[in-house]
Amino acid sequence: MRLCQQAAADGFAQVKLKVGGSVQDDVRRLALARNTVGPHKRTAVDANQRWGIDDAITWIEALKPYDVWWVEEPTSPDDILGHAAIARAVAPIRIATGEHVQNRIIVKQLLQAGALSFLQIDATRVAGVNENISNLLLSATFGRPVCPHAGGVGLCELVQNLSIFDYIAITGSTTDRATEYVDHLHEHFVDPVQIHQGHYVIPSTPGYSAQMTSEALHHFNFPGGPAWTR
């Protein structure tokens, strides 16, 4: 509850809970989150590939009363038809996936199959920026919002640029779009992300925002850096 209260106070329009341990506990936690953030902020859940098809459908039905905005990775990211079956069964709840998708071909098939409502591209999973530009263009063609995955070392710094490019050069829209944010590890970067009222602030320096500080490179250099030798 405390984290949900803080996110709402900081201006974030959406919060996300991990689910998949037990149905009863997930229902309890989601009810608490919904009551905390109120009816006007979005609440999503992330199963991290925990379920098979039938389990996913049953579990998501139990969460429906709490106005779930999306269910993320309900099953294996390689199971395109499985995602499509889940999406059909649990509508109007939306399915989000993509952070583990390796290339634009799988993205194309997910979109063709109606297997997702939100594409969650990752800055490092595919073969660089150009591949993700292809994914952005594919999603625009199919009318599906892109909501990038982030949270690891430098992922927030990287994916903000993909979301910015999507808005400026492709869709011109922020409707139903979100860019994941986790508030840690930014201190290792020369130009860390800046958040204001729950929104990313456009970087003020050129580049992909990926340059790490000399101190971080020295400290974590393997195997001789102090992080490994002390």
All residues at 6 or more sequence positions from 35 whose CB lies less than 8 Å from its CB, including other chains: none
Instruction: Report the percent of the chain where pLDDT is more than 90.
Output: 97
Q: Could you report the per-residue pLDDT of 25-36, keeping only the tens digit for each? A: 999 999 999 999
How far is residue 79's CA from residue 110's CA, in Å, rounded to a whole number? 9
128, 99, 135, 106: CA torsion to nearest 10: 110
Q: What pLDDT, on the 0 to 100 scale, is given for residue 54?
A: 98
pLDDT at 153 (0 to 100): 93
Q: Are 46 and 19 in contact (CB under 8 A)?
A: yes
CA atoms within 13 A on the CB side of 53: 13
What average pLDDT does the segment 132-155 reach?
97
Token representation of residue 108: 């194309």
Distance in angstroms (rounded) separating the CA atoms of residues 229 and 61: 50
pLDDT in tens, 13-54: 999 999 999 999 999 999 999 999 999 999 999 999 999 999
pTM: 0.94
Task: Provide the total of helices (H) and of strands (E) in the chain, helices listed first.
Answer: 9, 7
Strand ranges (DSSP E) for the chain? 14-18, 42-46, 68-72, 94-97, 118-119, 195-196, 199-200
**Cα distance between residue 49 and residue 118, in whole Å:** 16
pLDDT at 192 over 90: yes
pLDDT at 201: 97
pLDDT digits (tens, 9 = 90+) for 76-115: 999 999 999 999 999 999 999 999 999 999 999 999 999 9
Looking at the annotation, which residues are catalytic? Answer: 18, 149
Tell whether domain 2-203 is in CATH 3.40.640.10. Answer: no
Is a pLDDT exceeding 90 seen at residue 230?
no
Q: Where are the domains of the chain?
A: 2-203
Mean residue pLDDT across the chain = 96
